[in-house]
Amino acid sequence: MLESAVKAHPRNPGTPLNLDQIESLAVNRSAVERRAATLAGRRTVKKEWQAAWLLQAIRCIDLTTLSGDDTAGNVHRLCAKAKQPVRQDLLDAMGVEGITTGAVCVYHQYVEECKKNLAGTSIPVAAVSTGFPAGLSPLRERIHEIQASVASGADEIDIVITRAHVLTGDWQALYDEMQMFREACGDAHVKAILATGELGTLTNVARASMVCMMAGADFIKTSTGKEPVNATIPVALVMDRMIREYHAATGYKVGFKPAGGIRTAKQSLDFLILMKEELGNDWLQPNLFRMGASSLLSDIERQLEHFVTGRYSAYNRHAMG
């Protein structure tokens, strides 16, 4: 079984913006893609070890619903699944108890509904904010949206950056914006969504990652889930290495959240293996690693049922499937 203890770490306070360091960052795409291609063959986990890794993956899921047709009923079901992500008979067969998802993630409108449904648990509520997913509403409105979600009880805020700041190389503007968002969050942790599929190059991904961490981001996150290209292993590798570089320079640990397009148990294992190899065991815990997903949990639960019974079940046998 993977280590389940979550080690506390001091929150990233940010650092002054170092433009020389930002401009010096450059990424060799070919080298990144070669390294990413080796991951699947470097480590394989089977049987009870695979089950243990999949249970850890569940603990790192931000169980998400961000649809235009969300209702209070959908959110109630989401929270129930977050509290009981795997059928009790499967947990009993594996000798596991007390497992939940890492958080639930919703629009601002449903923050209070989530807090009500999750009362008595330690499951955080994350709210997407700042004009999600485009992030192009007026700055004052984006800051007010953060403050409103915090006032409603959100424990975490997933903000979206202005992509134009990255595409034009205006790193001071990105830093200033991120600092304002961090200040508006107060005690709520802030995840900076880079929308990497819209940033053009891996060098831009690296530079945006570093600027957001310098401005005080608690997590950096790949995508909104609404872009044509969302979480990929090459992008995750670049962002992880920026996290490693920032930690080496400052001593502060920043979390990582891939989101969008992660639908299979195998994909979740690929991201966990990447975290272990690039950042170490501390980043296998939900305080430093999350996966934004909605349908992923159903496939993981199917794999766990196969581990227990030797048979695969249909998706419709699992809640939220």
Q: Does the structure show a pLDDT above 70 at 176? A: yes
Q: Which of 158, 218, 240, 270 is catalytic?
A: 158
Mean residue pLDDT across the chain? 94
**Active site annotation includes 282:** no
| 243 within a domain of the structure (yes/no) | yes
| 19 within a domain of the structure (yes/no) | no
- Cis geometry, peptide bond prior to residue 133 (ω within 30 degrees of 0): yes
Residue with tokens 């009981």: 84
Confidence (pLDDT) at 312: 80
The whole domain housing 120 covers 45-317
- pLDDT tens-digit series, residues 31-57: 999 999 987 666 677 889 999 999 999
Confidence (pLDDT) at 319: 62
Confidence (pLDDT) at 321: 47
Structure tokens at 194: 């880079």
| 57 within a domain of the structure (yes/no) | yes
| 142 within a domain of the structure (yes/no) | yes
| 35 within a domain of the structure (yes/no) | no
Confidence (pLDDT) at 251: 98
User: Number of folded domains in the chain?
Assistant: 1
**Active site annotation includes 158:** yes
Q: Which of 218, 221, 240, 253 is catalytic?
A: 221
More confident: 105 or 4:
105
Q: Does the structure show a pLDDT above 50 at 3? A: no
Proportion of the chain above pLDDT 90, given as a percent: 89
Q: Does the structure show a pLDDT above 80 at 4? A: no
Q: Which residues pair with 125 in a beta bridge?
A: 104
Q: Which of 81, 191, 253, 257 is catalytic?
A: 257
Confidence (pLDDT) at 1: 43
CATH number at residue 254: 3.20.20.70
